[in-house]
Amino acid sequence: MKRNYKKFSLWGAVILVTLLVVARLLLSPVTVSSINQWFSDRGVDSEIDDLSFDIYNGTVSLTGLRAKKGDISALALDEFSLGWSWSALFERQLKLESVLISGFQLELERKPDGRLLFAAIDFARQSQAEDQQSAAPSGEMPQWSIALQNLEINDYQVCYRDLPLHDYCNSFDKFDWSGPIVVDLSRLEQTAVPLLAEGDFRLAGLRMQNNRLQRRLFGFDDFTLQGVRIDDLDSIEIETISLDNLSMLEKTDDPENSDVTRLEKLEIDQFSLKQLNRLEIASARVLNQQGRLVKRDDDRLETSEWLEEYEKKAETDGENPAADEQPFSFAIDKLVYETERSLQYVDLSLSSTFVIDLNNIQLSIENLDSANTEQTSKIEYRANYAKHGKVSFSGTATPLDPTPTLDLKGTIKGMDLPELSAFTAKAIGHRIKSGQLDANIELKAVDSVLDSKIDLRLDHLKLAPVSEKDSEKIDNKLGFPLNTSLSLLKDRDDVIELSIPVTGDTNSPDFDPTDAISKAISVAITTAVINYYTPFGLVTLADGLFSLATALRFDPVVFEPGNGGIDSVDSGGLEKIAGLMQERPGVRVTLCAYTNSDDRRLLLPETVEIAADELELNDEQIAILERLGESRRDRVEDYLVGKSIDPARLVACETEHKEGSGLAGVEISI
């Protein structure tokens, strides 16, 4: 009996081994044949170089899969290998120890009728047919889980076409996940994605190519996640995130700036996402960005070609979030932006090229929270403008508040103004021939209501109108001649100092920043002129109104009747005028001489007895009075020239004779 049992056991073992050998020998060719037949049934030609199974060690490997439809390559896979653990099956778990995919290429295409083809196969149509043939019976969820330990994908490319707008290829060099990922199928009814994961992730050499434009949309060298912990997607925590060498929006017409923007590094610490709608970050650092955005001569940004398809897609989507969805919010304890490189905006649509060039930028913002927009954030900002200009701000603000509150102080140092000439020519009709700007700035706002002040210092500012029409336009907008007012403000060092209040409600539909600044400058110039020139006997207000065209007149120089000598004049007023003109080298004055009835009576005694309504002076008598007026004007001019005033700054006008008790002297006005 024992001998028969041993004999039976031996034969059983032989048969089992034989079956396993036969299964191993037949499994590969049968599987290859089934795969090729599956593709053939769907009108796709396919071939496989090799498929092997190692049942003992729990591995399967496929190499050289190619699928074509006609001359079009639909799917390619250089290598696929899978390793699993048999022992985990006893615990109702399909445990994949490792998955390797190399040389994967797939074509996706959306047809005009909305069908989506994967590898030239209409899976939607196939699945409908298969569903009709065999519907899975309803019942309890399987008490199984799927686990994955390591996933590696190399040399990956997927292309998606939805013509005429979308034609993209997405590729990367390496995708690597290390750590357990578990999907518990028994909890599918309890949560949408019963996923648990813990490990590290790396994606290298990503590129997204826009085939329609033949340019790269974006790409990066390396993207890593360290210390990833995922719990049903309700809680996603990552210790550190790092992104290296990001480039966006490739350009083909600018060899020195091959992309609209490039970023050397992004670092994020303590990333936490709860319920897919609340993001919290301890710190984020953006390092060494470089960018150059160009507005072309057709008045369109160079990015407009990229944005067209997304704008059209947004118009067709028109989807609104469900009313019961929780809004997404984020919080960042500290955001730091630093770059030694240049960020440029170039406008080619103006009469000459306009460039804003910021570099060596340092920005720090603390305590950002979109769920608490009234929370105050500390802000510090420093940057260089062009070669020598420096800009800095610091203070507090509520940057995420729809009605922000600001309390910032800043400075501008050494900003060369001619670089803004192309912009000012369009904005105010004047080019900047020379000038440098320093400024102290107080930006204050409460609930979007501005109450700010800018203290300007302008050195050697010289403007030139683009045209007479443009000059009139800005003069009318300001309420006085721009160049005249600037000359009034320049001191002996050719410096203008202005304090400009900027006020207004930014949320008001009538608020126009350009108009607000123009009005602020107008008020500032008016105030500066009144404050400075009033002590010199100038700025007489008519009916409470101020106008540079009429208000800037000095107290006249009064002569004794019939006298043209300066010795008879109180020269205190002339001393003030000389002092003013020395301090304001840009000021020119007009000298207008007058004679009156007292002068006539002394110089023309034959006219004394003639009644005023019968008086009619002949040419010789008029000439005598004119010579008196010219003598008075010449004496005033000589006095000012003697005080080192350039004669070119003294403008003469015709002498006038006025009957009655009018002025007997010289009127001086700016």
Average pLDDT over residues 296-305: 82
pLDDT of residue 501: 83
Instruction: Using DSSP, state whether 290 is helix, strand or coil.
Output: strand
Query: Among candidates 124, 106, 107, 104, which has minimal Cα distance to 115?
Result: 124
User: CB burial class (10 A; 0-12, 13-18, 19+) of residue 140?
Assistant: exposed
Cα distance between residue 436 and residue 419, in whole Å? 10
The predicted-structure confidence for 235-294, as pLDDT tens digits, reads as follows 999 999 999 999 999 887 777 778 899 999 999 999 999 988 999 999 999 999 999 888
Q: Over the Cα atoms of the chain, what is R_g?
A: 42
Number of Cβ atoms within 10 Å of the Cβ of 368: 20
Q: What proportion of the chain, given as a percentage, has pLDDT over 70?
A: 83
Kindly list the distances between the CA atom of residue 282 and the CA atoms of 272, 368, 642, in Å, as whole numbers in the listed order: 9, 11, 72
pLDDT value at 149 more than 80: yes
- For the cut 80, the answer to whether the pLDDT of residue 221 exceeds it is yes
pLDDT band for 74, please (50, 70, 90 cuts). confident
- pLDDT at residue 274, rounded to an integer: 92
Contacts of 7 (CB under 8 A, 6+ apart): none
Amino acid at the residue 358: L
Q: What is the average pLDDT score of the chain?
A: 81
* Distances 560 to 412, 593, 661, 664 between C-alpha atoms, Å: 54, 13, 13, 7
pLDDT confidence tier of residue 449, bands split at 50, 70 and 90? confident
Instruction: Measure CA 164 to chain center.
Output: 30
pLDDT exceeds cutoff 50 at 544 = no
Can you tell me the distance from the alpha carbon of 185 to that of 436, in angstroms, rounded to the nearest whole number? 70
**C-alpha to C-alpha distance for 536 and 581, rounded to whole angstroms:** 11
**How high is the pLDDT of residue 207?**
95
Contacts of 531 (CB under 8 A, 6+ apart): none
Q: Which of 430, 434, 439 is nearest to 417 (CA)?
A: 434
Task: Write out the two tokens for 282.
Answer: 């301890």
pLDDT, residue 11, reads: 47
Q: What pLDDT, on a 0 to 100 scale, did the predictor assign at position 246? A: 95
Higher pLDDT, 432 or 568: 432
- Assess whether pLDDT exceeds 80 at residue 663: yes
Unique residue bearing structure tokens 């304001």:
584
Q: Is the pLDDT of residue 640 over 60?
A: yes
Q: Exposure string (b/e) for 563-590, b if CB count within 10 Å is 16 or more?
A: bbebeebeeebbebbbebbeebbbbbbe
Q: Two tokens at 591?
A: 């000298």
- pLDDT-derived band at 397 (thresholds 50, 70, 90) equals very high
Cα 479 to the center of its chain, rounded Å: 34
Sign of CA pseudo-dihedral 130, 133, 137, 138: positive
Q: Where are the alpha helices (DSSP H) in 490-618?
A: 513-533, 548-551, 572-583, 597-603
pLDDT at position 392 is 95
Bond into 164 cis (ω within 30): yes
Provide the pLDDT for residue 547. 57
Residue 575 · residue 637 · CB < 8 Å:
no
| CA quadruple 521, 522, 524, 528: dihedral sign | positive
**Cα separation of the two ends of the chain:** 136
Compute the distance between CA of residue 564 and CA of residue 558 in angstroms, rounded to an integer. 10
Give residue 309's pLDDT. 58
pLDDT band at 1 (very low <50, low <70, confident <90, very high): very low
Pick from 77, 85, 17, 87: which is nearest to 51 by CA?
77
pLDDT of residue 297: 82
Q: For the residues 9-13, what does the mean pLDDT come to?
A: 48
The pLDDT score that the predictor gives to residue 5 is 44
Residue 480 has pLDDT above 70, yes or no: no
The tokens describing 45, both together, are: 């030609």
Distance between CA 268 and CA 439 in Å, rounded?
Answer: 36
Distance, CA of 53 to CA of 60 (rounded, Å): 4
CB contact set of 255 (below 8 Å; sequence gap of 6+)? none
How large is the average pLDDT for residues 401-428?
A: 86
Number of CB atoms found within 10 A of residue 124's CB? 12
Q: What would the 3-class secondary structure string for 172-216 be?
A: EEEEEEEEEEEEEHHHCCCCCCCEEEEEEEEEEEEEEEECCCCEE
Q: Is 142 helix (H, G, I), strand (E, B) or coil?
A: coil
Picking from 624, 619, 554, 627, the residue whose alpha carbon sits closest to that of residue 593 is 627
pLDDT bracket for residue 504 (50, 70, 90): confident
Q: Which of 200, 201, 197, 218 is nearest to 209 (CA)?
A: 218
Phi (first) and psi of residue 629, to 5 degrees: -60, -45
Average confidence (pLDDT) over 465-481: 74
Largest CA distance in the chain: 173
Give the percent of the chain with pLDDT over 90. 28
What residues does each domain of the chain span?
Answer: 403-532, 553-669
**Amino acid at position 470, single letter:** D
Least confident of 50-64, 75-89, 308-322, 380-394: 308-322
Q: How many CB atoms lie within 10 A of CB 429?
A: 21
Phi/psi at 312 (nearest 5 deg)? -65, -40
Find, among 522, 511, 438, 443, the residue nearest to 475 by Cα.
Answer: 522
Q: How far apart are CA 220 and CA 174, in angstroms?
A: 12
* DSSP state letter for 121: B
d(Cα 6, Cα 584) in Å, to the nearest integer? 123
Q: How far apart are CA 53 and CA 410, in angstroms?
A: 71
> What is the enclosing helix (H) or strand (E) of 629?
helix 619-642
CATH architecture observed for domain 553-669: 2-Layer Sandwich (3.30)
pLDDT of residue 515: 63
pLDDT at residue 140, rounded to an integer? 58
pLDDT of the residue at 616: 86
Residues 455 and 380: their CA atoms lie apart, in Å, by: 20
Contact (CB, 8 A) for 418 and 462: no
User: Is the pLDDT assigned to residue 12 strictly greater than 70?
Assistant: no
Structure confidence by residue, pLDDT tens digits, 592-632: 999 999 898 899 888 888 877 778 888 898 899 999 999 99
Note the Cα 437 to chain centre separation in Å: 23
Beta bridge partners of 378: 366, 396
